[in-house]
Chain A
Amino acid sequence: MNHNIGIGGKKGPESRRKHLNVACIGNPNCGKTTLFNALTGSRLKVANWPGVTVERVEGETSYEDTDITLIDTPGIYSLTCYTIEEKVTRKCAMDDDIDAIINVVDASSLERNLYLTLQLLELGKPVVLALNMMDVVKERGMELDMHRLPEMLGGIPVVPVSAARRTGLDILLHALIHHCEEGMEEYILDYPPEIEDKIGKLTFLMRKNYPSHCSARWHAIKLLEDDEEVRQDHPISVDSLVDRSYEKEIIQSKYAYIEKVVREILFYKGKKAASTDRIDRLLTHPIWGIPVFLLIMCLVFFLTFTVGDVLKGVFETGLDMVSDGAAGLLEGLGVAGWLKSLIVEGIIAGVGGILTFIPNIFILFLALAILEDSGYMARVAYVMDSVMGRVGLSGKAFLPMILGFGCTVPAIMATRALETEHDRRKTMLVTPFMSCSARLPVYVLFSDIFFPEHPAVAAFSMYVIGMAIAILVALVINGLEKGKVNDSLLIELPEYKRPNARTIRIYVWNKLKDYLSKAGTTIFIASIVIWLVLNFGMSGQVKDPADSFGAMLGRVLVPVLAPAGLGMWQIGVALLSGISAKEVVVSSFAVLFGVANANSEAGMAAILENIHKVDPAFGPLNAYCLMLFCLLYIPCVATVATIKKESGSWRFTLGMMAFQLLLAWTVSTVVFQLGSLIVG
């Protein structure tokens, strides 16, 4: 049997150590990634809505003398291959390298989860059932017959675990290793005689033609379901047996068996999850659903701006100390003037300025983490379905858009959960209009400088405009395509739960780490490059940045940007460099004007003063147009690369960039021209 190859395969002094490749497979949102994290010590993102994991991920763990490579997979309901996630997971499950499968099961909805289990059992690989969420089962007053359940599933080990509380993990690994040595029964349930007869014959055929297959019965069943992929891979003539797809009967037999199992093992199925229904009465209310959602988002951003600003002071003082200290130290060491300028005015100003926004970023991600882990996300898909439906997208397409408030890159990846390629592309096109956390520093800085009375309102308006433009663009596309109303929403709504502290910690820490590493790499390099192009010109090193290469480049853009009220070469440079990462717009202002701490009051005053030196007329309207332009123009390089990868098309990617540039210019020009008429 294939799964025995891994055990004791290696020879030599270290041959004592065995090795197993194990896949974690289960329904969406049943706790696979939480279990994976608990077993391997990894810190992958976990949240309470279906479709968080979109790719297979590997991690290492060990138990006694066995090393285990664990593979986390996207959640699936069935081993068919209609969505990208299903394809990824199915390929992983069938991979010859996989020695065993940990089937993670949400014990509180066994009836649905066991359907996948039955399919996995038919694969013929060793399967261990990890019964997760037993605490929910207890809460609801349910009891499971742990003795009868394995009996009815062909004798596989069934281990209750709590992935969140990390209990039962050792038993799970122990059972897994033992079970791999024992091997598997291939036969769990039987289908109606007519189908069973066909399966028998097909199994025989598969064994004859493909003796190396470990799961002849599974392949036979898939042939009978008229599964496209299996038919293509096994070009044997079976038309006399498979005169039509028997999928419906096969599915019904499985569910009939599951009902039998559930009847035998589940007791005291009392009142169910009343609390979730009570919360849903408000959050998914037909009329109040959307206002409640908007209110929640309002609260998230309000907290981001206000609480974040309170915490900001600490970081500013720290940055000032570092900046002054470095200047003093370099002076004392007698370092060359240009090097000192590079370090203090280039790197510390560019990178340090970005670090002072950490409190805002922290609050934003904390709020998003709580939203995602509570179970509300899937409800948003339901609540927004009527709005999204009118623009030709399903409510599910709104989930990547909300993720876009955090970072556009994972948001683009999350579009994989959408059913059609067409929907995916459309969602990819509009997701960058959701203001990501990198645009936050731009909004905070310019709102604070130019709208000192109501900075939070000015910044929040960017989020609203972004959302409105995303929906408008989708609406226009739908109109051009003469598309219909899309109303084929299909999503599972998980139970609400109290957000898990560990999950939130991992989530927020990962995001902050990303932000810090971006500051240390992209923004660091961009700051140096900006300093270079601003300090060197045709005649070598220049005193006045106006003679630099950067100014030459920026001046080319002035005529184009002037109608939008952005006719300064400095803005041209900032916007150009902002393509590397949106925070760099702030960095480059700091470097341009030699401001050590752009986010402090003194720094803001210095920026305002410098801007007014160049263009005395540059006022709130111009600043607002700058924010608008930053919201709408080309997203960062990382996003562009992700869109290229996910769409697989340069044409789409380049077309999208051109569209965004055009849109950014048009919107900011219209706002500036109309605004000038009203103001002046």
Chain B
Amino acid sequence: MTLYEAQKGGSYCVEGLSVEPAITRRLQALGLNDGTIVNILNRKKHGALIVQVRGTRLALGKHISSSIQVSESDGEALRRESGEGLADRMGLHGICTVEDIFVEETAAEGKASPEETTAEKISPAEGEPAEKEDESRES
């Protein structure tokens, strides 16, 4: 279903955006990505709706809302159960189910946090070939 068909008061999980690239980028920058939870605060029968995304309110026209694929989600309950916004986690595609969250969680635990990973710049050994390759193509 699309966000346009959503019910007032409902909570939904974004599955994909299929609108012009420029608008897609804006929506993504506003935090509407795959897996984001949106709550419908208000809507007109055949028109714009007001949604809550990441703690802010957005008014979206029909054109935009009907190009956002969503699935119903018991978002608020999930949030409380498994930590804030876990459902919104990156890389969580498709329908958001509790199973997905748990898979995601275990996967996340396995991964080291960014501060601990080698955040160093790439070694010259890695960078050098790329650069040479590039220079040769330029000349």
Closest chain A residue to B19 by CB distance? Answer: A488
Q: Are the C-beta atoms of B45 and A286 separated by less than 8 Å?
A: yes
**Across-interface contacts of A493 in B (CB, < 8 A):** 50, 57-59
Cβ contact within 8 Å between B25 and A378: no
Measured CB to CB, the nearest residue on chain A to B119 is A187
Chain B residue numbers with a CB within 8 Å of A421 are: none
B61 and A256 within 8 A (CB) = no
Tell me whether A112 and B42 are in contact in the complex, defined as CB-CB below 8 angstroms, given that A490-B61, A493-B58 are known contacts. no
Contact check, B54 vs A80: say whether CB atoms are below 8 A apart: no
A280 and B42 contacting across the interface, CB-CB below 8 Å: yes
What is the bound-complex CA distance between A666 and B22, given in angstroms?
41
Q: Is A488 in contact with B61, judged by CB distance below 8 angstroms? A: yes
Is A238 close to B, CB under 8 A? Answer: yes
Contact flags (1/0) for A381-425 with B, using CB distance below 8 Å? 110011001000011000000000000000000000001000000
What is the chain B residue whose CB lies nearest that of A185? B119
Q: Which of A82, A188, A200, A266 contacts B84 (CB 8 A)?
A: A266
Complex Cα distance, B48 from A381, in Å, reads 10
Of A240-248, A301-309, A500-508, the one with at least 4 CB within 8 A of chain B:
A240-248
In the complex formed, the residue of B with least CB distance to A252 is B90
Q: Tell me the complex Cα distance, A341–B90, Å.
A: 78
Contact call B23/A385, Cβ cutoff below 8 A = no
Chain A residue contacts of B61, Cβ below 8 A? 385, 389, 394-395, 486-490
Beta-carbon contact of A385 and B59 below 8 Å: yes
Q: Are B34 and A280 in contact (CB under 8 A)?
A: no
Tell me, in angstroms, the Cα distance from A554 to B44 when the chains sit together.
53
Quick one: which of B23, B33, B50, B131 contacts A252, CB cutoff 8 A?
Answer: B33
Q: Report A573-617 CB contacts with B as 1/0, cut-off 8 Å.
A: 000000000000000000000000000000000000000000000
CB 8 Å contact bits of B103-139 with A (1 = contact, 0 = none): 0000000000110010101101011001101100110
Q: Which chain A residues numbered 172 to 217 have a C-beta less than 8 Å away from chain B?
A: 187-190, 197, 200-201, 203-205, 208
Q: Once the chains are docked, how many angstroms separate the CA of A281 from the CA of B33?
A: 27
Q: Which positions in A face B, CB cutoff 8 Å?
A: 77-78, 80, 82, 108-112, 115, 187-190, 197, 200-201, 203-205, 208, 236-238, 240-241, 247-248, 251-253, 255-257, 259-260, 262-263, 266, 269, 272, 276-277, 280-281, 284, 286, 378, 381-382, 385-386, 389, 394-395, 419, 486-494
B57 contacts across to A, CB distance below 8 A: 276, 492-494
Residue among A109, A197, A281, A381 making CB contact with B55, cutoff 8 Å: A109
- Chain A's nearest CB lies how many Å from the CB of B137? 5
B55 and A240 within 8 A (CB): no
Task: Provide the residues of chain A in CB contact with B23, threshold 8 Å.
Answer: 488, 490
Complex CA gap A188/B119 in Å reads 8
CB < 8 Å neighbour of B58 from A78, A241, A492: A492
B114 touching A263, Cβ below 8 Å: no
B18 interface contact, C-beta 8 A: no
CB-CB < 8 A to B131: which residues of A?
201, 204-205, 208
A492/B126 in contact, CB under 8 A: no
Please give the distance in Å from B62's CB to the nearest CB on chain A: 4
User: Closest 8 A-B residue pairs measured CB to CB?
Assistant: A200-B122, A256-B90, A489-B61, A78-B29, A204-B127, A487-B61, A487-B62, A201-B130
* Complex Cα gap A294–B77 (Å): 40
Name 26 interchain pairs, CB-CB below 8 A, sorted by A.
Answer: A80-B29, A109-B56, A112-B30, A187-B121, A204-B122, A204-B127, A240-B133, A240-B137, A251-B28, A251-B29, A252-B33, A252-B91, A256-B91, A257-B114, A263-B83, A280-B50, A284-B50, A286-B43, A286-B44, A389-B61, A395-B61, A487-B48, A489-B64, A490-B26, A493-B57, A494-B57
Whether A237 pairs with B31 at a CB distance below 8 angstroms is no
B79 CB to nearest chain A CB (Å): 9
Q: Give the interface SS of chain B, mostly helix, strand, loop or mixed.
A: mixed
Residues of chain B at interface, number, CB under 8 A: 56
What 1/0 flags go to B9-48 for Cβ under 8 Å of A?
A: 0000000000000110111111101101000011111111
A492 CA to B55 CA, complexed, in Å: 11
Task: Across the interface, name the chain B residue whose C-beta is closest to A217.
Answer: B121
> Quick one: which of A77, A108, A111, A259 has the most chain B CB within 10 A?
A259
Please give, as numbers and ranges, the residues of chain A lying within 8 Å of B36 by CB-CB distance: 255
Interfacial chain B residues near A188, Cβ < 8 Å:
114
Of the candidates B41, B86, B126, B134, the one whose C-beta lies within 8 Å of that of A238 is B134
With beta carbons under 8 angstroms apart, the residue of A110, A252, A281, A490 that contacts B59 is A490
In the bound complex, how far is the Cα of B125 from the Cα of A91, in angstroms? 34
Whether A236 pairs with B138 at a CB distance below 8 angstroms is yes
Q: Which of B48-90 contact A (CB under 8 A)?
A: 48, 50, 53-64, 83-86, 88-90
Q: Find out whether the CB atom of B48 lies under 8 angstroms from the CB atom of A489.
A: yes
CA distance A336 to B43 in the complex (A): 71
- Out of B25, B33, B58, B91, which one reaches A82, CB within 8 Å? B25
Please, which residues of chain A bring their CB within 8 A of the CB of B127? Answer: 200-201, 204-205
Q: What residue in chain B is nearest A251 (Cβ atoms)?
A: B28
The CA of A534 and the CA of B89, in the complex, are separated in Å by: 75
Nearest-neighbor residue (CB-CB) of A191 within chain B: B114
Cα(A488)–Cα(B26), bound, Å:
12
- Contact A262 to B85, CB < 8 A, known contacts A201-B130, A280-B42: yes
CB distance from A89 to the nearest CB of B (A): 13
B138 and A237: CB pair below 8 A?
A: yes
Residues of B within 8 A of A253 (CB): 90
Tell me, in angstroms, the Cα distance from A564 to B28 when the chains sit together.
Answer: 54
- The listed residue with most A CB atoms (<10 A of its CB), out of B26, B48, B58, is B48
Q: Which residues of B contact A262 (CB under 8 A)?
A: 84-85
Query: Which residues of A sit under 8 angstroms from B126, Cβ to Cβ?
Result: 197, 200-201
Question: Chain A: which residue is nearest B118 at the CB level?
Answer: A190
B29 engages A389 (CB within 8 Å): no
Alpha-carbon distance between A614 and B90 when the two chains are bound, in angstroms: 78
Do A263 and B85 contact each other (CB < 8 Å), given the known contacts A237-B134, A237-B137, A488-B23? Answer: yes
B48 partner residues in chain A, CB cutoff 8 A: 382, 385-386, 395, 487, 489
Complex CA–CA separation, A241 to B137 (angstroms)? 13
> Smallest Cβ distance from B132 to chain A, in angstroms?
11
Contacts of B47 in A (CB 8 A): 385-386, 389, 487
- Give every chain A residue within 8 A of B31 (Cβ-Cβ): 111-112, 115, 255
Chain A minimum-CB-distance residue to B67:
A488
Are the CB atoms of B137 and A247 closer together than 8 Å? no
- CB closest residue in chain A, given B136: A237
Given A190-B117, A208-B131, A386-B44, check contact A201 B122 (CB 8 Å): yes
State whether B43 touches A277 (Cβ < 8 A): no
A272 & B137 in contact (Cβ 8 Å cutoff): no
The interface residues of chain B lying within 8 Å CB-to-CB of A115 are 29, 31
* Contact pick for A490, options B33, B64, B84, CB 8 Å: B64
Residue of B nearest to A119 (CB): B29
B123 to chain A, nearest CB (A): 9
Q: Are A382 and B28 in contact (CB under 8 A)?
A: no
Give Cα A53–Cα B134 distance, bound, in whole angstroms: 43
Known: A284-B42, A286-B43. A205 touches B134 (CB 8 A): yes
By a CB distance below 8 angstroms, the chain A residues around B22 are 82, 419
| Distance (whole angstroms) from the CB of A79 to the closest CB of chain B | 9
Q: Tell me which residues across on chain B come within 8 A of A256, comparing CB atoms.
A: 89-91
| Cα–Cα distance between A205 and B122 once the two chains are bound (Å) | 12
Contact call B88/A204, Cβ cutoff below 8 A = no
Instruction: Name which of B45, B47, B64, B86 has the most chain A CB atoms within 10 A of its CB.
Output: B47
